[in-house]
């Protein structure tokens, strides 16, 4: 498995790619839980996920992609259920699968109208086709060669995370083993006796390691890891706050809310609204800048010639 440090290193590399390429990246552990995400859903994917039955389609599509990636030797490029280009890659260490990387939410350089017609067919269940088309026109376009090259770069990022000296080894110190244990088990009930037994440490030794290496208590380390995971899920998924509470190891929803607020200064719901509002504002800014660069033409202008489909048409 990857250590917490290795996942952090890989997450930073993916974030650098996101900054350069403006592509959404997601890093998942072996149980398909999101460890890190760079950016959030595109406006198009947000519309799909918020529509009735849309989020389930996304989840099922991702699960199938991860299954194929786990059987493949390299990156797997595919069209998602809505017709967008996605790439899935299994992360392996010494032949052992330890996680996944997903990236995409984009289009290739084949004729845009042909891709739209494919998306329209796949999303015939969606009601407002004009709305969907406007969001479709904002999607990033990359050539097949660029997509393939990006897959190889992401694969190289995995190697870099290992070669940078962050690979788990028998000689790593106790503090590193403690962090790794918390990273692997934060979603479960964790007890001090359980940690001591797993790491072959006495209580006094465990406490001493914690104080010397982090200046924090074991409970604080566990709490920080859980809150970090909750932030990622609030940003990158539409799971309910109660579901997220259970996913990151808090059986008591009210307690989770109090702890989250202590760390983030906001309740989980307030935090989700804030980051999504910031995301939407950034998207609107990019769309406005793009329209100015095209002589004032907007995606809505381009959508005026697109075929129109209403909810009534979709049911016909």
| Token pair recorded at residue 149 | 């090259």
CB within 8 Å of 42: residues ≥ 6 apart: 24, 105, 135, 138, 139, 283
Question: What fold does the segment set 174-265 form as a domain?
Answer: Arc Repressor Mutant, subunit A (1.10.10)
Domain parsing of the chain, residue ranges: 4-166, 174-265
What tokens does 14 get?
Answer: 């993916």
- C-alpha 34/C-alpha 29 separation (Å) is 7
**Which residues neighbour 146 within 8 Å (Cβ) at sequence distance 6 or greater?**
none
Model confidence at 128, pLDDT cuts 50, 70, 90, reads very high
Helix, strand, coil % in the chain, rounded to nearest 5: 60, 10, 25
Q: What is the pLDDT of residue 6?
A: 72
Helix (H) or strand (E) holding 243: helix 241-247
Mean pLDDT over 84-93 rounds to 90
CATH class as words, domain 4-166: alpha beta
| Residue range 193-250, pLDDT digits in tens | 999 998 888 898 888 888 877 788 999 999 999 999 999 999 989 999 999 999 999 9
Output the CA–CA distances (angstroms, integers) from residue 271 to 40, 230, 234, 248, in the order listed.
14, 10, 8, 16
Residue indicated by tokens 């042909």: 114
Q: Which of 49, 50, 36 is nearest to 84 (CA)?
A: 49
Q: What is the predicted pLDDT for the residue at 250?
A: 94
Query: How many angstroms separate the Cα of 34 from the Cα of each of 160, 237, 249, 279?
Result: 20, 9, 14, 19
Strands (E), 130-258: 140-141
Average pLDDT of every residue of the chain: 83
Lowest mean pLDDT among 44-58, 129-143, 195-209: 195-209
**Tens digits of residue pLDDT in 153-199:** 988 888 877 665 444 443 346 788 888 899 989 999 999 999 999 88
Residue 23, SS3 per DSSP? coil
pTM for the model stands at 0.53
The residue written with tokens 């509470």 in the block is 245
Give the number of other CB atoms < 10 A from CB of residue 104: 26
Per CATH, 4-166 and 174-265 having the same topology is answered: no
């Amino acid at each position: 498995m990857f250590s917490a440090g290795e996942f952090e290193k890989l997450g930073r590399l993916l974030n650098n790619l996101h900054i350069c390429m403006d592509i959404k990246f997601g890093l998942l552990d072996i149980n398909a839980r999101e460890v890190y995400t760079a950016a959030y859903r595109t406006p198009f994917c947000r519309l799909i996920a918020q529509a009735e039955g849309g989020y389930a389609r996304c989840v099922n599509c991702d699960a199938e992609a991860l299954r194929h990636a786990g059987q493949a030797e390299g990156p797997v490029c595919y069209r998602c259920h809505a017709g967008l280009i996605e790439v899935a890659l299994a992360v392996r260490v010494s032949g052992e699968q330890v996680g996944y990387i997903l990236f995409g939410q984009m289009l290739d350089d084949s004729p845009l109208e042909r891709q739209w017609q494919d998306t329209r067919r796949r999303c015939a269940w969606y009601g407002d086709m004009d709305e969907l088309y406007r969001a479709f026109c904002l999607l990033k376009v990359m050539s097949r060669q660029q997509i393939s090259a990006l897959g190889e770069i992401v694969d190289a990022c995995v190697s870099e995370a290992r070669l940078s000296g962050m690979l788990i080894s028998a000689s790593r110190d106790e503090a590193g083993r403690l962090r790794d244990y918390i990273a692997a088990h934060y979603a479960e009930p964790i007890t001090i006796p359980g940690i001591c037994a797993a790491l072959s440490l006495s209580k006094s030794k465990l406490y001493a390691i914690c104080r010397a290496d982090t200046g924090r208590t074991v409970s604080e380390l566990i709490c920080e890891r859980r809150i970090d995971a909750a932030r990622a899920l609030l940003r990158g998924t539409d799971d309910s706050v109660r579901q997220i509470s259970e996913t990151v190891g808090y059986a008591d929803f009210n307690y989770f809310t109090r702890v989250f607020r202590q760390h983030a200064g906001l309740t989980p719901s307030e935090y989700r609204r804030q980051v999504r509002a910031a995301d939407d504002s950034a998207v609107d800014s990019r769309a406005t800048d793009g329209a100015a660069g095209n002589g004032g033409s907007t995606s809505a202008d381009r959508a005026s010639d697109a075929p129109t489909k209403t909810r009534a048409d979709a049911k016909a």
